[in-house]
Structure 1
């Protein structure tokens, strides 16, 4: 009991025990895809994953993604505060459409908070997508709903992209443009 080496060994066990718990917690949270908790405890997990390249990359990716989401939420809140809830919602919805961000609860909650304020716009976009994805050819109806969304929010990238996508489907190679306009568009 008075041997100093035993005391050092005991300290080493205490320290490594904490690291083992942190490593196990990290692995469990990663399996559960509880990225917010990993982000919250990133400084606890950093020493625990050190030396394991896979886990180091996973921690780095989680931190980067959560920072990206939180930054987007902050920018969206500022836009909504300035009266542009449409732009705020669209930016967050675009982010959520990406696979790595689709399950983030905070992002989903923020979108749900904005949706009632701009429900007619969101409804128009959803109907346009539903018609676009319909098994029956509903291109005209989809285009009409995208135009309605653009009427509600003229700066909508989502509505503009959807409309252009369908226009390209209906009129490949810009059939409406005169030959001189087509050559200018190419150059």
Structure 2
């Protein structure tokens, strides 16, 4: 009886301290000494409390990821109140500390990458940066712009790759060249360019000549070069636009043709010289 009394006292202490992990062991001890002890009901309540504490920890994690610090703190407080010794609470607290240290390092890293225009590197770490910058509206907006920028770039790269695979390397080259104007340093775009370049060597050379001639002011020669490029790639929007632009420029700059001018009739009262009759 003394052992039973001691086990019951210890079980009561564990319950008062919400030491749920050790309750089951003492419930089983008491059951062994008193078969009519309502251990099943106690264990059911203990399991419910453990589950409630774990659910509160999960809620705290979700709130923390969403950047809702107040909600995370409230959920963590509930979890601790239900089960102070819950190992998930300690684990989450350690994760929060580690995460804060990591996030503190992400902000200067993001600023450095922006200053160095490393858009692809930022895109590859977008999830990490999104968490770190959740409370920073200005940086979050910049991150959104970078993600959209690289998303559009990747769409153009994919478009060029599909065109090349469909035996349309000239159109693929047009997409690559146009995209390179705004993203000249992207390595994936550069790789795609090097893959397509051997397929369009004549076309690329002709366009290069046309662009140089136009830059140097030789519009007529540039127009001829663009027409040659269009012969290689009739569906090229770039060639069509260049030809239209240069043709309009040449038309505006051409000297007006001399038109015959009718003689001015003599004013009234002026003497009119009549040739003598022969």
Query: SS at the partner of 1:50?
Result: coil
Provide the rounded CA distance (Å) in 1 between the counterparts of 2:189 and 2:206. Answer: 22
Query: SS at the partner of 2:252?
Result: coil
Q: Which residue of 2 aligns with 1:170?
A: 250
Shift of 1:82: 0.8
CA RMSD, 1 decimal: 2.3
Q: Which residue of 2 aligns with 1:38?
A: 122
Q: Which residue of 2 aligns with 1:130?
A: 212
Q: Which residue of 1 aligns with 2:237?
A: 157
Structure 2, unaligned runs of 5 or more: 1-83, 85-89, 254-278
TM-score, normalised to structure 1, is: 0.80
Provide the rounded CA distance (Å) in 2 between the counterparts of 1:58 and 1:37. Answer: 14
Q: Deviations along 1:54-92, whole A, 9 cap, x unmatched?
A: 211111111111111111111211111110011111012
Query: Which one of 129, 143, 167 corresponds to residue 223 of structure 2?
Result: 143
Q: Which residue of 1 aligns with 2:35?
A: none
Shift of 1:12: 4.6
Provide the rounded CA distance (Å) in 2 between the counterparts of 1:102 and 1:53. Answer: 29
Following superposition, which runs of at least 4 residues in structure 1 exceed 6 angstroms of deviation? 7-10
Shift of 1:36: 1.3
Bigger relative contact order (CA 8 A; separation at least 6): 1
Change (3 A) 1:77 1:10: closer
Q: Which residue of 2 aligns with 1:28?
A: 112
* Residues 1:66 and 2:147 aligned together: no
Q: Structure 1 residues 107-116 or 79-88, which shifts more?
A: 107-116
Q: Which residue of 2 aligns with 1:82?
A: 166
Asked whether the 8 Å contact 2:163–2:169 carries over to 1, the reply is yes
Q: Which residue of 2 aligns with 1:49?
A: 133
Aligned length: 166
Query: SS at the partner of 2:185?
Result: coil
Q: Which residue of 1 aligns with 2:176?
A: 92
Query: SS at the partner of 1:87?
Result: helix
Asked whether the 8 Å contact 2:220–2:250 carries over to 1, the reply is no
Provide the rounded CA distance (Å) in 2 between the counterparts of 1:10 and 1:76. Answer: 47
Provide the rounded CA distance (Å) in 1 between the counterparts of 2:193 and 2:237. Answer: 17
Provide the rounded CA distance (Å) in 1 between the counterparts of 2:146 and 2:93. Answer: 34
Change (3 A) 1:160 1:52: same
